[in-house]
Every structure is written in structure tokens, then in C-alpha cells.
Amino acid sequence: MWLVVGLGNPGMQYAATRHNIGFMLIDALAQAWSACSFRQRFCSQLTSCRIAQQDVLLMKPQTYMNRSGQAVSAVMAYRKLPLQHLVVVHDELDLPAGTVRIKVGGGHGGHNGIRDTIAHVGGDFVRLRLGIGRPAVKGQETQYVLQRFAAAQQSHLVEQLTLGCEAVEDLISRGVVAAQQRFHSSNRVANAP
């Protein structure tokens, strides 16, 4: 079994913001793989599906970004899942908008959701990094990630989420290294403005 966690913040005020692109990808996966309705468990919205003949839990922690690790660790412990079967999907300021990248381990890079997840479960999990780019003005990162995607960016966002769904399927079916080779060497990027 795999656990795919999208990082984000609960509540309508955050629903379409850049920081919630992890939640958006979980919703896209649930739709693409005909998952059941989400239910509230472990301080999260959870559902399950099968991707590439594997049982997969899809999770949106409802603990707010800075406490994501609490919910993740609860599900990991309950299901007795190995860290290698945890995929955390998150926004990435250090990648251009539209980029999809896969990484195993490493630091938190200033991302509070990743920081808390590392604190609770360790750092050697798979990260699916969805590039959102940086704000034009340095020091405006907090405001930037909490802004909604502009209307002109919506079609590019849909393309990026489609690529993200392909990446999840690829890493589950063929493994992390093969998925990295596919998504990194071919420079898979949505046509973001």
C-alpha cells in the first residue's frame, strides 16, 4: 500500500491558492482513479483507490500546513507503512511554475509542511514537487503562496496537475528512479506563462 499526501490548508479561503496545489493534485488523482468520497479520519480527509494495481490512500491533512506531520505520522503508524511508500505532494518556490519533479529525502527547503513531516516521520520519503515559481519581489513569498492562481494560469495549472497524476502513477508502477528519469530528462513542464 502507498500513502500519497497532498499538503495544503483547510478552508475555502485557501482552496485555490498556490500553497494548496498539493490538495489540488490529490483531488485530481481521486477523480482520475475513481476514488470513493473523502471521509474524515486521522485529522485528514482520506480516500482510497487503486493505481497501477496497487492500493493507494489519498490524504489531505486538515491540521494546517505547519502541522502536516502529525496527521501523516498517525496514518503511517496505523497502517504500518514503510517510509519508502510515502509520497508527499507540495508546492515548490524554487522550481519554475508548471514544473513537476520527484525527489527522495533531503531537507525542508524552508517549506513548513515538509519541515513538520520530516520532524514526525523522518526525511527519506518521496516528494513530488510542483513548481509555482517565485514572486517578482523578494521577501513577498508568504503573500505569494497564499494568493490564488490567476485566471490566465488556470489552463497551465490543469496541465501541471495532469503531469503530476502521471508522475504518481509512474513512480508507483515503475519506481522512483524510472519516474525521475522520465520527468527530469524530458523536462516535463506545463506551458506556464
120 is catalytic: no
Query: Between the CA of residue 141 and those of 22, 109, 126, 178, what are the distances in Å?
Result: 17, 13, 24, 33
Rounded-to-integer distance, Cα 59 and Cα 5, Å = 5
What are the DSSP E strand ranges found in 15-85?
39-41, 44-51, 54-61
121, 85 contact by CB (below 8 A)? no
Find cell 519516474 and name the residue: 179
Rounded-to-integer distance, Cα 69 and Cα 148, Å = 24
Rounded-to-integer distance, Cα 23 and Cα 105, Å = 21
Catalytic residue, candidates 19, 85, 90, 156: 19
Query: Between the CA of residue 21 and those of 8, 65, 133, 175, 186, what are the distances in Å?
Result: 7, 12, 13, 23, 22
Q: Which residues are catalytic?
A: 19
